[in-house]
Chains A and B, each alone.
Chain A
Amino acid sequence: MTTVTKQGDESAVAASSGKVLHLPALEIRQGPNRRLYTFAVDGKQVPSFAAVSRVRRDSQQQLHGYQRPEVLAHVAAIRRYVESDDRPLLPNAIVVAFDDRVRFLPADTASDGPGYVRMGTLVVPVSEDWEDADKPGFIVDGQQRCAAIRDAEVPAFPICVTAFITADQADHRSQFILVNSTKPLPKGLIHELLPAASGPLPNQLRVRQLPATVLERLNFEERSPLRHMIQTPTNPAGVIKDNSMLRMLENSISNGVLYRFRGSDGTLPNIGLMVTVLSDFWTAVREVFGENAWGKPPRKSRLMHGAGIISMGYLMDAIADTNSSGEEFPDVQGFAAGLKTVKDYCRWTEGTWDLGDGIPRRWNDVQNTPRDIQRITDFLVSTYYAKQGKRHERSSRLF
């Protein structure tokens, strides 16, 4: 596809080394004065003609370049994907700004396509010995992808490139800013898309996939007491913040009753059992605390608020741990029995909490902060243990 030639007539183009790449390309006219080029090239070859321009100042404090250092973890993630996926796909073109040593030679063949596009060949001088500053191209977008392909242990990996030619450094810089100033996706949308996503994802999202999937089932399954109650982009009327519910699920998956179903060493998580335990628990919560506190927006009921959802999650873990072992766990009645022992001490919708620290707290003074969540949690769990009698004497002394 690409040919390296050493032709006399290209000497003006590639005086420094005499080598050029001939890349089949499309020229696209955009607006009155801009020409874009799109072509394919082996990613391994990119460093021979394009550099990453990093921000630095010279001795006169003049700004040079415009790029940030590679984010090594991000590079490693892409590299692992390119190396290990059986059909890796990097669909986005990288963007390269060329200086005017690069030329476009239109093909002779007349085409009856639209007037803004013509086929031809992009002639790019290359050299293995160039310093970054000598290279005719700068990578405006796609630095991490280029680094990953450069380092990947694969023989070749062709990628799409979009390029423009300009001698103007300031033009490079403004394109760089434009390309990189787009907003990331909102978190809530990412979480809602996660359960149905497959294939490569960054690790921190892969880890969130399980709680996001459990959340989705709680939110949309018929049998779930939380059906349509969790606020997500497609369910804006929900009263419980998706983030609060995710936190509660993550806590229990890492350190609570749901950990038992998380799977390990090649076994998949048992999402069905997770949903069963959660449905039983929240059904019990609805029964015990009743209409007054259930299904109301957080400003009317702290039970539906981050502090309520998350602290109740810890109580679920405590009740499950004291009433079950191994494969068994409490049912709705079991959870309800545990919840009833703390019910009279809760102030979800009115009144004042007596948390035992001598500081009375009005029900609506409880905030969704780590400190308040911890206070309510410690109080609920220790009260629960205290009511369990002799067997839990040890635990009831806590907090």
Chain B
Amino acid sequence: MKFFFPDSQDQVDPTFDFQTEERDPFRVRQRDDLYAHEVLKPPPFNGLLVSKAIVDGTAGSSTGKYTLPQRHRLYRQGAREFFRLDNGSAPLKIMGDCGAFSYVGEEYPPYTVEEVVSFYEGCGFDYGISVDHVIFQYEPKVLRTDEAAKEWVRRQQITLDLAAEFWQRCSASDVHFTPLGVTQGWSPESYAYAVVELQRIGYRRIAVGGMVPLKTKEILACLRAIDDVRAPDTQLHLLGISRVDEIPTFAGHGVTSFDSTSPFRQAFKDDRDNYYALDRTYVALRVPQVDGNAKLKARIRSGEISQGQAMQLERAALARLREFDRGEIALDAALEALDAYSAVWDGKANRSSQYRDTLENRPWQACDCSICKKVGIETIIFRGAERNKRRGFHNLHVFGQRLRRQLGDDDRD
């Protein structure tokens, strides 16, 4: 089972100083920054998934996450060198897709098959996913002849037509990457239907799309339906799915790879599951920067609270947490400082009991990942990109451990 991590230019800056919160001004983004696979051992994933939408943007609207100089260097050097795939303790694979979620609202995908083949081949990818158009809905009872299915059938047909063209172009120009077709559907039957078509075209690797909002049992229903038509040598890739507990079950249905950002994103997007431990999660300790919190800034500008007071509470919260970490003060003193600062930037949510749970268990002290080992309690403080991304990396590390445990792999390296 291979886990791919979708790249979104997520790196950490090794020059960042947690005390002063300053960095080396001469550091060059991406070049001097480190990827998770360069920081963690073993690398927490088997490969990166890189979207054309993130690198190039879409012609009409977004401009992508890459600067023009970065994009040109990626093309000059190729993905292996640009992403430093061989820099970790194990080399990584690289998979390309179009980033269909970025154009889900469009009538038609914004890329031509030719552009996409060029992108994969030009960057030197190992796997390339055909151009697809996402179907969001899940309605197992709706037949393809029903009026309600009209738009879904249209999207599925676009995806299949583009997959046929993609296959043809890949074969004709003898590309160096392995092409994957995409099955999109709204029901087990419709997913299976698309798999039949893709296998007829020639695909033996198929990415299953549009399943992110589905419940596990719905995913399993689709996989079972696909099983009925799947050739024995056809391998499946689950797009955007990270349910670790189910991975062995998925594997039984021909799934050999998947990708997900959720262990990383939960670190700073989730309300409570911010910090992974092997068997549970913790809420991170929120200490936002006074000038990084929009609500607090507005209150200061209006004169409602004084900036000096807010800064004092912020500094006290950080100082108490570090003292607590070193065993110099009791839990209650640290918690009080956290709560006092929370009261000025976030009057509503009271996370006191969750914070107590996190502090009592000190999970950052138990973690053996290189990030927790190096920066300790800073990992679990919810504040600014450098801490939040490190916590995301830590989560990837634990996710990798959970995954290997689920699959019965030896976890020691």
Contact = CB atoms under 8 A, between A and B. Distances in A.
Interface of A: 54-57, 64-65, 68-73, 76, 80, 132, 203-204, 206-207, 251-252, 254-256, 259, 262, 264, 314, 317-318, 321-322, 370, 373-374, 377, 381, 394-399
Contacts of B68: 251, 314, 370, 373-374, 377
A69 B122 contact: no
B327 interface: no
Contact of B303 (A56, A251, A394): A56
Given A317-B76, A318-B76, A394-B122, A76 B290 contact: no
A251 B73 CA distance: 10
Contacts of B124: 394
Contacts of B22: 76, 80
Interface in B4-25: 20-22, 25
Contact of B122 (A55, A76, A398): A398
Given A318-B72, A321-B76, A395-B75, A254 B31 contact: yes
14 contacts: A54-B300, A55-B301, A57-B303, A71-B291, A72-B291, A254-B69, A255-B72, A259-B28, A317-B73, A377-B72, A397-B117, A397-B121, A398-B118, A398-B119
B291 A395 contact: no
Interface residues of B, number: 40
B302 A56 contact: yes
Contacts of B301: 55, 68-69
**Interface residues of chain A: helix, strand, loop or mixed (majority):** helix
> Max chain A CB contacts within 10 Å: which of B21, B73, B289?
B73
Nearest to A58: B303
Nearest to B315: A151
Contacts of B302: 56-57
A54 B311 CA distance: 15
Contacts of A395: 75-76, 122
A353 to B, nearest CB: 18
Contacts of B291: 69, 71-73
A82 to B, nearest CB: 14
Interface string B59-83: 0000100011110110111100000
Contacts of A57: 302-303
A54 B121 contact: no
Given A80-B22, A394-B78, A397-B118, A256 B73 contact: yes
B118 A70 contact: no
A314 B67 CA distance: 13
A317 B72 contact: yes
A252 B67 CA distance: 12
Contacts of B77: 321
Given A69-B291, A72-B291, A394-B121, 16 more contacts: A54-B300, A56-B302, A56-B304, A57-B303, A69-B297, A70-B307, A206-B25, A251-B68, A254-B69, A256-B73, A264-B26, A317-B76, A321-B76, A373-B68, A396-B122, A397-B118
Report, nearest first, the 6 A-B pairs whose CB atoms are least far apart.
A56-B303, A255-B69, A398-B122, A203-B25, A397-B118, A251-B69
Interface string B230-247: 000000000000000000
Interface in B263-322: 289-291, 297, 300-304, 306-307, 311
A183 to B, nearest CB: 24
Contacts of B26: 206-207, 264
B72 A254 contact: no
Contacts of B118: 397-399
